[in-house]
């Protein structure tokens, strides 16, 4: 680890290396944003400022439909994985079984392509027509783990005596769940659902395998555009997407800063 | 009553367990026989034979493992100073510095690949500068687009945060008193690093390595868009078998091999005692 070693010899080197890595992280994205305002077909040199790629985008019916698809799919899968993930998280907390957490967290650790391919096989086996439904089911299956994690971490910080007190005071199990457990878990659930939303809107690989005709999502649309040619229109969509994610992340960090890190 | 409610939960769990188990792990096996229809099992073996008969797939698999290893090593080399700086900076700055690492990671995956397509494109600034420098030295102009270099650079770019985060989580917990004690006992800076910080940080490094290695092994979008014909990886072939060639049994064979490698790695990482970190 030569970099680390020289870094220890002088903190200046360490700082310089850090700075370089940060530049490496940000320059590519800045290039994309910059060229989205460039008045030239080629993403090569700066010609002049323009907004025409953004206006062109608004006229692109395929792109708009894909964006709408993405939003619908992400919302539905956030809701579904929010519900199922909460149940999974509660169950993981109650019954500390190894296989249970392995089952829920497995998809989190698997490479995307394997999830995509195996889901495709399963959908074919059960004769599920590929389309929005299959995409949603696929997204839910990899989002559940994230929601469950958020809920579980919230649960382990919960005071069990509250539930016991509620029972002593005559609350039914449903009442104590609804009035105590659920409100306490809510920040975790919301954070998990937002995570599921972002994952879904961002996902390319799993969607690629489970999408059918006419159910293009935004990443798929970008992929097919990029595959053909590099155009500033793609820069414009990308910039908009980055802004959207930024807004979502800011909202997410309001609810639970820790969940950003996992 | 109480039990009843929470009895409902595990059964619900089982319900989507039954939904996801075939989906994520076992889905290949039953399909396998259906795909081959009424034919005997020997036909099934043929797909496996194909894997071993032709050296193309095995060498491609090896190449992918090589790419993923190189990516992991470069990520480690870049992430280490970064994680160390963050871990040693004042507490109030840490969250911001970490957020700056994660932020690009939240922009769309394709957008991040696309950014490198611009940078590596023949008209792009980077290629121009390199070629002008090369011309001064009398070198042939080189094309970075559609090369292994492009693929690995992008792989590193996409996976860097996975290395930084576990490393940081580990480095942050180190007890400064250890370093102070070593200094009092006369250890030099380098000694303090190699004898204290480095061995203590190994679990974080392993966790990061697994988190980088697994996804970069299976990736297909990056080589697809940046690799051309030289840079293809095992993920591309899997995708090709499923989408273009429609040879699902053989695609399944390749996927199973990839799954096996992944599981093996996860188990190995678990052996190193960091399973929870790995799963996160």
- The mean pLDDT value for A110-131 works out to 74
E-strand ranges in chain B read none
Closest chain A residue by Cα to residue B109: A202
Closest chain A residue by Cα to residue B5: A173
Q: Which residue has the higher pLDDT, A26 or A111?
A: A26
Q: What pLDDT score does B51 carry?
A: 65
How far, in whole angstroms, is CA A50 from its chain's centroid?
31
Instruction: Say whether B220 and A205 touch across the interface (CB within 8 A).
Output: yes
Q: What pLDDT score does A215 carry?
A: 76
Largest separation between any pair of C-alpha atoms in chain A: 74
Does position A13 have pLDDT exceeding 50, yes or no?
Answer: yes
- The reported pTM is 0.74
Give the residues across from A38 on adjacent strands: A49
Q: Show the tokens assigned to A246.
A: 């930024």
Question: Can you tell me the distance from the alpha carbon of A207 to that of A223, in angstroms, rounded to the nearest whole number?
Answer: 12
Q: What pLDDT score does B249 carry?
A: 66
Question: Can you tell me the distance from the alpha carbon of B39 to that of B30, in angstroms, rounded to the nearest whole number?
Answer: 14
E-strand ranges in chain A read none
Instruction: Say whether A223 and B280 touch across the interface (CB within 8 A).
Output: no
Q: Show the tokens assigned to A219.
A: 């990443």
Report the interhelical angle of A61-94 vs B2-21 (nearest 10°): 130
Ordered mean pLDDT values, 10 residues apiece, chain B (280 residues): 39 41 37 41 53 73 86 90 86 81 79 83 69 67 72 88 87 82 83 83 84 83 77 78 68 75 73 46
pLDDT digits (tens, 9 = 90+) for A178-229: 888 888 888 888 888 888 888 888 888 888 888 877 778 888 888 888 877 7
Q: Which residue has the higher pLDDT, B249 or A240?
A: A240
Does position A101 have pLDDT exceeding 80, yes or no?
Answer: no
- Report the mean per-residue pLDDT for chain A: 77
Give the residues across from A49 on adjacent strands: A38
Q: Which residue has the higher pLDDT, B73 or A106?
A: B73
- Put simply, whether B118 touches A (Cβ < 8 Å) is yes
Q: Which residue has the higher pLDDT, A232 or B248?
A: A232
Closest among B173, B164, B171, B180 to B202, alpha carbons compared: B171
Which residue is listed with tokens 């497995």? A106
Question: Can you tell me the distance from the alpha carbon of B67 to that of B255, in angstroms, rounded to the nearest whole number?
Answer: 18
Closest chain A residue by Cα to residue B169: A261
The torsion defined by the Cα of B268, A2, B148 and A219, in degrees rounded to 10, comes to 70
Q: Which residue has the higher pLDDT, B100 or A2?
A: B100
Q: What pLDDT score does A17 carry?
A: 84
Instruction: Say whether A227 and B225 touch across the interface (CB within 8 A).
Output: yes
Q: What pLDDT score does B273 carry?
A: 52
Q: Exposed, middle or buried, B7 (CB in 10 Å: 0-12/13-18/19+)?
A: exposed
Minimum-distance CB partner of A28 among B108, B110, B115: B115
- The mean pLDDT value for A141-159 works out to 79
Q: What pLDDT score does A117 carry?
A: 76
Residues 6 or more apart whose CB falls under 8 angstroms from that of B52 comprise: B58
- The mean pLDDT value for A135-144 works out to 82
Return the number of other C-beta atoms located less than 10 Å from residue B33's C-beta: 13
Question: Can you tell me the distance from the alpha carbon of A5 to that of B70, in angstroms, rounded to the nearest whole number?
Answer: 20
Report the interhelical angle of A11-35 vs B55-88 (nearest 10°): 120
Yes or no: say if B79 and B163 are a contact pair by the CB < 8 Å rule.
yes
Minimum-distance CB partner of A100 among B13, B23, B111: B13
Q: What pLDDT score does B116 carry?
A: 83
Minimum-distance CB partner of A173 among B5, B24, B102: B5
Q: What pLDDT score does B32 carry?
A: 42
Q: What pLDDT score does B74 carry?
A: 92
């Amino acid at each position: 680890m030569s970099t680390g070693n020289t870094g220890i010899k002088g903190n200046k080197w360490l700082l310089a290396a850090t700075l370089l890595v940060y530049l490496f992280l940000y320059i590519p994205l800045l290039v994309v944003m910059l060229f989205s305002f460039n008045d030239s077909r080629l993403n090569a040199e700066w010609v002049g400022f323009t907004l025409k790629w953004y206006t062109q985008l608004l006229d692109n019916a395929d792109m708009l439909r894909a964006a709408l698809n993405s939003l619908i799919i992400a919302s539905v899968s956030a809701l579904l994985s929010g519900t199922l993930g909460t149940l999974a998280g509660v169950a993981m907390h109650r019954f500390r079984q190894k296989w249970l957490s392995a089952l829920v967290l497995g998809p989190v650790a698997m490479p995307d392509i394997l999830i995509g391919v195996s889901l495709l096989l399963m959908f074919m086996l059960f004769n599920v027509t590929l389309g929005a439904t299959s995409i949603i089911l696929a997204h839910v299956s990899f989002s559940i783990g994230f929601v469950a994690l958020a809920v579980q971490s919230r649960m382990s910080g919960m005071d069990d005596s509250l539930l016991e007190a509620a029972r002593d005071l005559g609350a039914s199990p449903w009442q104590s769940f609804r009035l105590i457990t659920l409100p306490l878990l809510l920040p975790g659930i919301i954070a998990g659902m937002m995570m599921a939303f972002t994952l879904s809107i961002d996902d390319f690989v799993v969607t690629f395998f489970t999408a059918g005709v006419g159910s293009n999502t935004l990443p798929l649309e970008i992929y097919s555009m990029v595959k053909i040619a590099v155009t500033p229109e793609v820069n414009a969509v990308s910039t908009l997407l980055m802004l959207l994610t930024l807004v979502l992340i800011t909202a997410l960090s309001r609810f639970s800063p820790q969940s950003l890190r996992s | 009553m109480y039990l009843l409610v929470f009895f409902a939960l595990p059964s619900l769990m089982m319900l989507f367990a039954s939904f996801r188990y075939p989906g994520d792990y076992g889905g290949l096996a039953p399909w396998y026989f259906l795909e081959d229809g009424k034919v005997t099992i020997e036909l099934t073996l043929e797909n496996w034979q194909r894997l071993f008969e032709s050296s193309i797939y095995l060498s491609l698999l090896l190449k992918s493992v090589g790419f993923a290893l190189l990516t992991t090593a470069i990520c480690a080399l870049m992430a280490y100073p970064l994680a160390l700086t963050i871990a040693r900076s004042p507490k109030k700055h840490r969250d911001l510095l970490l957020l700056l690492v994660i932020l690009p990671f939240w922009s769309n995956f394709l957008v991040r690949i696309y950014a490198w397509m611009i940078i590596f494109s023949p008209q792009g600034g980077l290629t121009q500068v390199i070629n002008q420098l090369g011309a001064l030295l009398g070198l042939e102009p080189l094309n970075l687009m559609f090369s292994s270099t492009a693929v690995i650079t992008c792989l590193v770019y996409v996976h860097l945060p996975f290395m930084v985060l576990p490393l940081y989580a580990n480095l942050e917990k180190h007890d400064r008193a250890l370093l102070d004690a070593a200094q009092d006992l006369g250890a030099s800076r380098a000694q303090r690093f190699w004898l204290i910080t480095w061995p203590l940080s190994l679990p974080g490094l392993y966790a990061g390595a697994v988190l980088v290695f697994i996804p970069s092994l299976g990736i297909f979008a990056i080589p697809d868009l940046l690799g051309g014909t030289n840079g293809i990886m095992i993920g591309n072939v899997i995708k090709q078998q499923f989408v273009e060639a429609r040879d699902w049994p053989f695609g399944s064979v390749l996927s199973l091999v990839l799954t096996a490698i992944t599981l093996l790695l996860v188990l190995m990482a678990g052996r190193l005692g960091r399973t929870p970190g790995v799963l996160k």
